[in-house]
Amino acid sequence: MFIILSGFSGLRTFSDSLLDKSDPDIKITTTKGKSFFVTDNLKTVLKQHKNINVIAEVVEERVFLEYNQKTEIAFIKGVDSNFTKISNLDVALYAGSWLQSDFKNTAVVGRGISNKLSLGTYNYGNPLKIMIPKPGTGFINPRNPFYTLETQIVGVYSGTEDFENKFVFVAINEARNLLKFKENQVTSIELKLNDRKRAAAFAKSLKQKIGKDFKVQTKEQLNEVFYKVINTENFISYLIFTLIVIIALFNVIGAIIMLIIDKKANLKTLYNLGATLKEIKSIFMFQGFLLTFFGMCIGLFLGVLLVFIQQKFALFMIVPNVPYPVEFQITNLLIVFFTISILGYIAAKIASSRISKTFLAQ
């Protein structure tokens, strides 16, 4: 049970490390429309929070991509210089380099998009066209229905499958020009916190300060389905192994009952000498509990040892270069300790209930 719980803890931490590339600790969006303006009042509110480490402005929109007569639908994501301090995507590139302020009309794409469009880095002969339909309800020239941004690919990033197939990163000013946004107009603000464990409480507090016109979401809320799946699998695995423990404890119940039957003559003697039924039952309850307790301690010791061995030597691998993630947590240790202790006590109590006046009189 402890090893399985440690495995899910490691898997959650491993998934968090992947999501660190794609999602911030806190994301602020508008509840009215797609974009909003970063006002001085909003900036003041954000700067007053001591828990905010980095603030990044983002412009994001769905676009068409075209390269060598191949097309794909993705999202353009215009980012400022602070973005890499939130995601650390610049040091986790699959190929090439991150956006640089010295060069214009450059882009970084996901590995999935790169494979679909057969894109390479620094291929100056054929630019990647990023297109968005021109808004409006009147006449649109069919020969020129899109606003277009031609870019050169300087980097390819990797991450989760969805993330690799979703974004094309460009400088925020270039994204604003493509979308015809005004200065300080953004689709979201992304934040990195000093204390990520307090993200939920921080989001609630910030929501109250900036008002109902904004939506404040944590990383868990942005990936709600994913975390629900992980938590559900973790809980179901815990229930399955608890059931296995309950079945195993029938052996403890049987062993105690056999011991009671074997010591029946001695129990009669104790009873005739004045020992009460409660005192006699407590002897076997204590013995049964100790049997479970020491078995649990040995099992936890072996489980902790195996977890540390996996962390140190990576005996089990997901793929040849990625070990199966496990993480030692005191919480998992306490969960197993209290689960086995409570079930062991119940098993000992059930076994000792076999002792009665009728049993001793036989």
Token pair recorded at residue 358: 């009728």
Please provide the distance, in angstroms rounded to a whole number, between the alpha carbons at the two ends of the chain: 42
Mind giving me the DSSP string for 212-223? TTEEEEEHHHHT
Residues in the chain: 362
182, part of any domain: yes
Number of compact structural domains in the chain: 2
Q: Which of 185, 201, 222 is the last residue of a domain?
A: 222
Other beta carbons within 10 angstroms of residue 245's beta carbon come to 19
CA 360 to each of CA 257, 263, 268, 273: distance values in angstroms, whole numbers, following the listed order: 14, 11, 6, 13
Residue 285, domain extent: 226-361
Tens-digit pLDDT profile for the chain (362 aa)?
Answer: 899 999 989 888 888 777 888 899 999 999 989 999 999 999 999 988 889 999 999 999 999 999 988 999 999 999 999 999 998 888 778 889 999 888 899 999 999 999 999 988 877 778 999 999 887 665 556 667 889 999 999 999 988 889 999 999 999 999 999 999 999 999 999 999 999 889 999 999 999 999 889 999 999 999 888 889 888 988 998 999 999 989 988 888 898 889 888 888 888 888 888 888 889 889 888 888 888 899 999 999 999 999 999 999 988 888 788 888 999 999 999 999 999 999 999 999 998 888 888 887 76
| Model confidence pTM above 0.75 | yes
12, part of any domain: no
Indicate if 245 and 149 belong to the same structural domain.
no
* Among the listed residues 180, 212, 163, 162, the one whose alpha carbon sits nearest the alpha carbon of residue 29: 212
Indicate if 32 and 56 belong to the same structural domain.
yes
Q: Which of 177, 194, 222 is the last residue of a domain?
A: 222
Residue 143, SS3? coil
6, part of any domain: no
How many helices and strands (H and E) does the chain possess?
A: 13, 14
19, part of any domain: no
